[in-house]
Amino acid sequence: MKPTTTLAVALLCVFSPLSYAKPLKVFILAGQSNMEGHAEVRTFDYIGKDPLTAPLLKEMRNPEGNPRVCDKVWMSYLTGPYDGSANGEGVGNLTAGFGERGDNPTQLSSRIGPEFTFGIFMEKELKEPILIIKTAWGGRSLNTEFRPPSAGSYKLPKEIQDVWDQHPQGAHGVPKLEERKKWQDEKDAASGVFYRMMVEHVKKVLADPKRVCPAYDSKEGYELGGFVWLQGFNDLVDGTTYPNGNYDEYSRLLGCFIRDVRKDLSAPGMPFVIGVLGVEGDKNVNFRKAMAAPAGMPGFKGNVIAVDTAPFWDRVIEAAQPKEGEYNEIVGTAHILKPDGTLDRDWKWENYWKPAGKPLPAERNWRFVAVDATEKKDMIGEYTERRFRDITLPSGMENWSMPDFDDSKWTEGKAPIGKGVWKHNGITLDNFPSKWGEGEFLLMRTTFEIEDPNFEKYRIAILARQGFHVYLNGHKIHTYVWWQDNPRYGSIVLDAEQVKHLKKGKNVLAAYSNDQYDPGSPEHYAGIDVRIEGITKTDQKKLDLALEEVLSPKDREALKGASNGGYHYFGSAKIFAQMGKAFAEALLPLQN
């Protein structure tokens, strides 16, 4: 029995978890908006439509179909607005939600970046606790905000400096001579700011890893398993720093970046992955070569790996997105205008929706009044494009949108009601049936009769220069807070809660808006008209069939896999998931 007992004890020692204690594996992920990650969770299903990526989706979800939570992977994620003014750290076990976070950097979002599948596959292969430290901010370049210390100060390329020297008074984007010192000072002030934020945060986390990762054992310590860099868009489009498509300077900067990161984190041999920008697929050849170049530099061979993300670019989504833009323009437009400002009745999409009620919109009388802000809290003195806001109305007008309000003393006329000259895209609006008056804000009301509200759907068709509120029978049914640069009637389809305020018989439609003024002149301009329109079930079917010629069912299916623009890899979880897995696979062979 003794030998057996001895063997049992020996085996117990060999297979005891204590004998497998290792330093905590730490990975650092950094970059700009694509490292943040703009892929919405709602695009996950698209991954499963492709037999090549369907197995990836199974790794990303638990048996109940929800995004997986990695029990052995912990995250520290520092992010914030473009200027880094409100940075925040999000911590917790890795799951969906460690992507772009908007105004709430410490809270889980509905987006993922490459970190999700990177952590999933690292956990799967390493089978040990992992800490991921991620720092990412949108719109940050390597040549300025992420500029590494050893790169030196920012200097204009000779080609650009020569152009500037030829135009001391400034021209075509060239600053005047007296403005150039300020430009350089601002460049110098911004240089390296986000590099330093990144390094400082990594050091802060590593000073007390247990704060983020409860599995950390201080006796065993930690090991930096690798660094993943996914960035580049702001450098790609920076013709001032990289004139004539010459991106050699990016290669130099990235080489400095890798050396400086290793030095500042006391990790001279830390493996480094360059996520080579794949926006637009295999285009942008010069830039992609420049990004990958450091992997072949002396001292970097074998420990710096360039992973091309272009193969993950989705050509099907790429082909569908322009059609989606055309589709959205059509469905978001109720009526278009001819150059003289009148309705284009020959527009192909004009006659599916019909006016709801009588008299017809062009025949309706509106009552309206223009007012100004009189209280200091409501006033805006300087020019700003976004002027729409609520103000304190004159006494007695508090219930102005209610059906029983007495508007008999207001001005009466047809819509559109406007002032000044509104020009955009070849269309001029200045011959308004009714004049707005001098006040900045306009309140307007009209009535119409509905015999039988039997349309399948209803919408607001509205022409407006600034923001607006729209009321139906005293109920606010829509608000838009911005400005409109396109003189056309927008289409806003109403939901069931909004439609319930429409009734058989007399209806009161009201709107509140304000004017705009040109920063180059004192002229104020505005225009507004509002209509309620409906579409029958038959016409809706006809419209749907016609729209399929613009955006086919196949296109719509592809677009379910997208949630953002092409510069963010379409906000496609399929693309980001493949990238994260590829980054993990590049680093795994380099783990001791």
Within a domain: 4 = no
Within a domain: 216 = yes
Q: What's the pLDDT band for 486 if we cut at 50, 70, 90?
A: confident
Cα dihedral 251, 253, 254, 259, rounded to 10, equals: 130
Q: In terms of pLDDT, which residue wins out, 425 or 50? A: 50
3-class DSSP state of 488? coil
Q: How confident is the model at residue 169, as a pLDDT?
A: 87
Q: Are residues 161 and 133 in the same domain?
A: no
Separation between Cα atoms, residue 147 and residue 153, nearest integer Å: 9
Point out the least confidently predicted range of 7-11, 237-241, 427-431.
7-11
Q: Are residues 378 and 472 in the same domain?
A: yes
Query: What tens digit of pLDDT does each residue of 254-309 get?
Result: 999 999 999 999 999 999 999 999 999 999 999 999 999 999 999 999 999 999 99
Over residues 106-133, mean pLDDT: 98
Q: Are residues 215 and 235 in the same domain?
A: yes
CATH number for the domain harbouring residue 204: 3.40.50.1110
Q: How confident is the model at residue 484, as a pLDDT?
A: 85
Q: What's the pLDDT band for 172 if we cut at 50, 70, 90?
A: confident
| Residue ranges in 429-518 assigned as alpha helix (H) | 496-499
Q: What's the pLDDT band for 80 if we cut at 50, 70, 90?
A: very high
Over residues 146-155, mean pLDDT: 98
Whether the Cβ atoms of residue 35 and residue 136 lie closer than 8 Å to each other: yes
Task: Please give the single-letter amino acid code of residue 289.
Answer: K
Cα dihedral 66, 69, 75, 81, rounded to 10, equals: 10
Q: Are residues 397 and 370 in the same domain?
A: yes
Whether the Cβ atoms of residue 241 and residue 159 lie closer than 8 Å to each other: no
Tokens representing residue 154 in the block = 């920012």
Query: What tens digit of pLDDT does each residue of 495-518 get?
Result: 999 999 999 999 999 999 999 877
Residue 18 pLDDT > 50, yes or no? no
Q: How confident is the model at residue 385, as a pLDDT?
A: 73
Tell me how far CA of residue 369 lies from CA of 262, 404, 442, 475, in angstroms.
67, 17, 6, 20
Separation between Cα atoms, residue 353 and residue 9, nearest integer Å: 83
Q: Is the backbone of residue 363 left (phi > 0), alpha (psi -120 to 50) or beta?
A: alpha
* Averaged pLDDT score across all residues of the chain: 93
Quick one: 407 exposed, middle or buried, by C-beta within 10 A (0-12, 13-18, 19+)? buried
Whether the Cβ atoms of residue 291 and residue 232 lie closer than 8 Å to each other: yes
Q: How confident is the model at residue 453, as a pLDDT?
A: 75
Within a domain: 199 = yes
User: Strands 73-79 and 130-136, how do they pair?
Assistant: parallel
Tell me how far CA of residue 584 lies from CA of 67, 82, 215, 264, 589, in angstroms.
19, 27, 21, 23, 9
Q: Are residues 170 and 66 in the same domain?
A: no
Give the other-Cβ count within 10 Å of 50's Cβ: 14
Q: Are residues 466 and 511 in the same domain?
A: yes
CATH number for the domain harbouring residue 403: 2.60.120.260
Q: How confident is the model at residue 15, as a pLDDT?
A: 39
Tell me how far CA of residue 144 lies from CA of 29, 39, 154, 220, 253, in angstroms.
19, 26, 7, 38, 10
Q: Are residues 181 and 292 in the same domain?
A: no
Q: What's the pLDDT band for 173 if we cut at 50, 70, 90?
A: confident
% of the chain beyond a pLDDT of 90: 89
For 94-129, strand residue ranges (E) read 111-112
Q: How confident is the model at residue 197, as a pLDDT?
A: 98
Query: What tens digit of pLDDT does each residue of 556-581 get?
Result: 999 999 999 999 999 999 999 999 99
Q: Are residues 207 and 59 in the same domain?
A: yes
Separation between Cα atoms, residue 33 and residue 79, nearest integer Å: 10
Q: Are residues 80 and 185 in the same domain?
A: no
Separation between Cα atoms, residue 337 and residue 341, nearest integer Å: 5
Q: What's the pLDDT band for 17 if we cut at 50, 70, 90?
A: very low
Within a domain: 15 = no
Within a domain: 5 = no
Q: Are residues 86 and 205 in the same domain?
A: yes
Within a domain: 29 = yes
Query: What tens digit of pLDDT does each residue of 221-235 get?
Result: 999 999 999 999 999
Which residues are bridge partners to 419 per DSSP? 526
Which structural domain range is residue 355 located in?
326-547
Which residues are bridge partners to 413 per DSSP? 366
Task: Please give the single-letter amino acid code of residue 360.
Answer: L
Query: What tens digit of pLDDT does each residue of 307-340 get?
Result: 999 999 999 999 999 999 999 999 999 999 999 9
Residue 30 pLDDT > 80, yes or no? yes
Q: Are residues 436 and 529 in the same domain?
A: yes
User: Strands 354-355 and 524-535, how do they pair?
Assistant: antiparallel
Within a domain: 215 = yes
Q: How confident is the model at residue 520, as a pLDDT?
A: 67
Tokens representing residue 57 in the block = 């989706």
Within a domain: 9 = no
CA nearest 123: which of 97, 142, 95?
95
Tokens representing residue 547 in the block = 């729209």
Tokens representing residue 404 in the block = 């029983």
The pTM of this model reads 0.81
Query: What tens digit of pLDDT does each residue of 187-204 get?
Result: 999 999 999 999 999 999
Instruction: Count the domains in the chain.
Output: 3
Residue 13 pLDDT > 50, yes or no? no
Please count the CA atoms within 13 angstroms of the CA of 514 that sit on its side-chain side. 25
Residue 68 pLDDT > 90, yes or no? yes
- What's the helix, strand, coil split of the chain in %, to 5? 35, 25, 40
Output DSSP code: residue 522. S
Residue 7 pLDDT > 60, yes or no? no
Residue 8 pLDDT > 70, yes or no? no
Q: Are residues 54 and 201 in the same domain?
A: yes
Separation between Cα atoms, residue 53 and residue 46, nearest integer Å: 9
Separation between Cα atoms, residue 241 and residue 156, nearest integer Å: 6
Residue 372 pLDDT > 70, yes or no? yes
